[in-house]
Structure 1
Amino acid sequence: MKLSHFGFELPEELLAEYPSENRDESRLMVLNRKEQTIEHKMFKDIIDYFDEEDVMILNDTKVFPARLFGNKEKTGARIEVFLLRELNEEQRLWDVLVDPARKIRIGNKLYFGEDESLVAEVIDNTTSRGRTLRFLYDGSYEEFRKKLHELGETPLPKYIKREVEPEDEERYQTIFAKTEGAVAAPTAGLHFSKHLLKRLEIKGVDFAEVTLHVGLGTFNPVEVEDLSKHKMDSEEVFIGPQTVERINRALKERKRICAVGTTAMRAVESSVSSSGTLNEINGWTNKFIFPPYDFSIANCMITNFHTPKSTLLMMASAFAGHDFIKKAYEEAVKEKYKFYSYGDAMLII
């Protein structure tokens, strides 16, 4: 398929600036692939589609406050620094994006905090906006990480034009987040409340945790018409033995296995054995899933509504079928579903 197959008109007012008042009361569109039917529900109704020993795959990655604002030495120019990836813990080297990039050259120093207690030196250019920074800080590594948390803010997506608000720190994080390393939330998981998770648990639904640290590369625009030529950025992924055992047992017993989000789906599809079962993994993945694609692990998927020509839309299309997703998205626009990170959800069964 080509890039142009994934374009559609998305009214700007459908991009969600705020989350729903309660996590599990966002809207839910249910797509039944076999029956080719579309239902309109609330997210908390999702419990009706799962039975005992079905498995939900949750991405337990935790978003860290990756956006910092500093001042350039001498000129005092305000510079946004977006922390992408820690390269070396001992040397405190980080792969970052800077904005405006034209002002930042190798050798420049940036000062953070009102007391300028954190300093970073630019030691390399990686891309037009990318830089490698060495943070200069006298304290221990734990104190350094604490300082980053103090000075950083929740990295809401760029489409959200408003200022970051205090509640974003909690709402732009799943309630099962525990392994820090993502610069963007696995947004399908944002709809789960503690109450809903407990109800699912009481019903006998099993949870299997994976970790895929979401990077900004997930949201990079596809700039080639031939999708086979698009390269995804690598993201760190971990799947441990307990998760492997739970999912492979559910596969064998033909239970419903639901990937909660494109990141959970990409994690499990990145570690499939030759016999079609799940393997453990502790490494990196740059897997790009687009139609046509045969899925090996999950037979059910929860995802948000995605923007035109995005890799996330392409994965949903590969799972549900291109024509069916196109029809569902036309319905979503007509019914004014909310799109993107803080938007509504879709269950594909």
Structure 2
Amino acid sequence: MTKLFEPITLGDISLTNRVVMAPLTRNRSPNAVPNELNVEYYRQRATAGLIITEATAITHQGQGYADVPGLYTKEALAGWKKVTDAVHAAGGKIVVQMWHVGRISHTTLQPNDGKPVSSTNKRANAKTYLVNADGTGGFADVSEPRALETSEIPGIVEDYRKAARAAIDEAGFDGVEIHGANGYLLDQFLRSNVNDRTDQYGGSIENRARLLFEVVDAVTKEIGAGRTAIRISPVTPSGDVSDADPQKLFTYVVEGLANYGLSYIHIVEGQTGGARDFLPFDYDALHAAYKAAGGKAAWMTNNGYDKDMAVAAIDSGKADVVAFGKPFIANPDLVRRLKENAPLTAVDSANLYGGQGAKGYTDYPALDAA
């Protein structure tokens, strides 16, 4: 019998199984406020051992896509509280992925139509999702950013701290996942092709990782390390990022993270949503380096896993939990389907982002109904 469906504890969070719902941006929270449709979407998937919410902006400045939720208004926190209450009532656990997009944004999404902020002034070769005046949505080039002044960076760290506290106290989440992946702000500081700074946050690996560790330090001190996790993606090119030596960079990162009693470390293997072998990278060596440095957090793997891969990863000790993305979109009862080897419903690709209300969002049937 595989361990995939056995309970596990991640820091301070106890799970009934090891099948995790990965964060999935769906663009269905107008004005950055979770609504009743979002409540139903997450409630339907509460049999996951853990739900990680779609990426959620810590501030207005952290917003990068239309109709994604936030953690920075009373209305948004109240909306999330309805979500967490519904998930908990259904027996599930849920953490929020805390997001600052950095340069992957558009001036129309920023406070006072300002420039997005980043480690750099260099514009990304990337797209964002915008909603037009007539309600239709589509992708557009991101705007030119401005490099954060050194004096502004403590304020960014404070934004993460405040958002983490609000997530626990006001929104009722079981924990938070710091988004350090996919070419967003913390990843922009990490990567050598995006970080061209000459202050203490640029140049060496130690300097480029400084902001990430300052954020982790602030959040763990605020809500406890056992309710704090982080996501990293060592080789994904999302957001137009790359690094001259990702193995060395992310070994340094995980060795530093070993100093914290985090809930889990979430690793995207390969290109996010794409090829697992996108670039050569030794994920087993990364895991070994983390453990050799004294790290105790659960190891969560992600990207293109099916049941057989997940069983092999967990039963071999390669991973403690496995995150599934698109399969959870079309299969709200994915855990049962995996356990019973039932067929999986295909994703409605036309309605992944935005779309018309429930269509392609909450209208996927559970196994019995199907």
What's the TM-score once normalised by structure 2's chain length? 0.29
Higher Cα Rg, which structure: 1
Q: Whose helix fraction is larger, Structure 1's or Structure 2's? A: 2
Structure with bigger strand share is: 1
Structure number with the bigger relative contact order (C-alpha 8 A, sep ≥ 6) is 1
State TM-score, norm by structure 1. 0.30
